[in-house]
Amino acid sequence: DAKTTQPNSMESNEEEPVHLPCNHSTISGTDYIHWYRQLPSQGPEYVIHGLTSNVNNRMASLAIAEDRKSSTLILHRATLRDAAVYYCILRGFNAGGTSYGKLTFGQGTILTVHP
Amino acid sequence: DGGITQSPKYLFRKEGQNVTLSCEQNLNHDAMYWYRQDPGQGLRLIYYSQIVNDFQKGDIAEGYSVSREKKESFPLTVTSAQKNPTAFYLCASTVGGSSSYNEQFFGPGTRLTVL
């Protein structure tokens, strides 16, 4: 799996937007960009994913660079409940059953949200 | 409500004992996974199963064993051969196949401590 690089930690104030960056310079053309987050002492939860175009859902937005070598997860208005570790993960397209859906987690970005 | 349950939440065992962690899902998912997480680290894949009666080793399978006799159940046994078993164990599942865009659903985790 291609590697991703994220800052170790970021801080934000409540109600402000948060931009969490991820570099993935070795991404292949068929790799999807996934984001998961993990609250303390809980299992990770899916946030969003994308391939080439920017994506929006109820939790966040994903902005993907034109060359796909980087992406940014955007939380439009941070709340205290958004304090978590955010993981940026690349997942290859399953061709011929060679990809078994494994998620390769790095260390992620610890997001601290201040009241 | 559909979801994944893991039990127990906390587990203590004496060195040299085998212990089995439970994972059950009622999401009708074909694929199930076991991950291990050490403090401050991302998740690492132990075993995965794409279908009933079939499973494969992940990146760190030594000292662990699994079974998949029923679609909804994927128990993990931590054997005495696992040299450093104290960790947070997470079970996950996803819909059939291993498409790169299928969301993985995680259970709440079991924290195992070896005394």
Q: What is the mean pLDDT of chain A?
A: 90
Q: What is the distance between the alpha carbons of residues B88 and B13, in angstroms, rounded to a whole number?
A: 14
pLDDT in tens, B30-48: 889 999 999 888 899 999 9
Pick among B21, B88, B104 to test the A interface (most A CBs inside 10 A): B104
The residues in B 12-51 lying below 8 A from A, measured between CB atoms, are 31, 33, 35, 40-45, 48, 50
- Is residue A103 within 8 angstroms of chain B, CB to CB? yes
Query: Which chain A residue lies closest to B40 (C-alpha atoms)?
Result: A107
Q: Which residues of B touch A32 (CB under 8 A)?
A: 100-101
Report the pLDDT value the prediction gives residue B109, as an integer from 0 to 100.
96
Neighbour order of strands in the sheet with A45-50: A9-13, A109-114, A84-91, A32-38, A45-50
What percent of chain B has a predicted confidence (pLDDT) above 70?
93
Going from the C-alpha of B43 to that of each of A1, A57, A102, A107, B37, the distances in angstroms are: 14, 25, 11, 8, 5
Q: Which residue has the tokens 């009622």?
A: B26
CA of residue B110 relative to chain centroid, distance? 9
* pLDDT at residue B76 greater than cutoff 80: yes
Decide if B98 and A99 are in contact by the 8 Å CB cutoff: yes
Query: pLDDT tens for residues A67-112?
Result: 999 999 999 999 999 999 999 998 875 555 445 567 788 889 999 9
| Residues of B in Cβ contact (< 8 Å) with A94 | 97-100
- The pLDDT, as a whole number, for residue B115 is 87
